[in-house]
Amino acid sequence: MLGKIKKFMLDTLFPVSCISCSKPNIWICKKCLSKIPLINNQVCPFCEKAITPDGRVCFKCRKKYSLDGLLVASSYQNELVSSVVHYYKYRFVEDLSLPLGIILIKAFLQSEFPIPDIIIPVPLHKRRLRWRGFNQAELLAQHLGENLTPGFNISVESNFLTRYLYTHPQMKIKNYAQRKKNIEGVFKPEKGIRKTIKGKNILLVDDIATTGATLFECARVLKRNGANRVFATVIARQEMK
């Protein structure tokens, strides 16, 4: 409710128009959306040095981590991308889940990632969910589930992982080791999840990754509970300052 009130107030103070060209009554028009470039050369999500197909984990990092690959759709250095993400997360513009979802689908279809059996959005703690009013990752995941394979919906499971510990926002922590420690052990799997995900390919969805610690921790929990392969996709990856 608080998030909806904030959204109403912001929409009243700042009438809706394209973030890029100011076309009225739409947050981002089709023409401007089509200009957002996708990333062609993906890198290993861990070392961020080796160029790998679709952001798969390189050979040297493969045995150290649970995530099998991270597909980054576009660049946070793109001014329009960073602006859209900011409006989506911090101005509570739920409608932007549609164009952002389109970007994710374009990137996914351009890749050779396997079609997932299950899509899981990165969960928010209930306290932060109440503050924001919606889980931005869940809206993106729902769009993928409904549109990635036309005519066949992919199951989106928002309750398979629970963020049961409230932690400091990762964006406010600049040190990688501290980010990793901040997120360790905060996700709890749903009771009986093993029977459902055993041997399945999972796609994790989030809006932004920085160090990727949140996605890596989610993947670790899923692999421990029987998942076959765990991939992830995000709109962009933000560099640590």
Q: What is the pLDDT of residues 66-101, one digit of tens each?
A: 999 999 999 999 999 999 999 998 888 999 999 999
Q: Is the pLDDT of residue 214 over 70?
A: yes
- Between residues 202 and 90, which one has the greater pLDDT? 202
SS3 call for 240 = coil
Residue 147 CB neighbours (<10 A): 15
DSSP H helices in 14-135 = 30-34, 79-90, 97-110, 126-132
User: What is the pairing mode between strands 161-163 and 201-205?
Assistant: unpaired
pLDDT tens-digit map of 27-51: 999 999 999 999 999 999 999 999 9
Compute the distance between CA of residue 121 and CA of residue 34 in angstroms, rounded to an integer: 25
Compute the distance between CA of residue 217 and CA of residue 121 in angstroms, rounded to an integer: 13
Determine what percent of the chain is predicted with pLDDT higher than 70. 87
Compute the distance between CA of residue 203 and CA of residue 117 in angstroms, rounded to an integer: 8
- Domain annotation for the chain: domains and CATH numbers: 37-237 (3.40.50)
Q: Read off the pTM.
A: 0.88
The predicted pLDDT at position 69 comes to 97
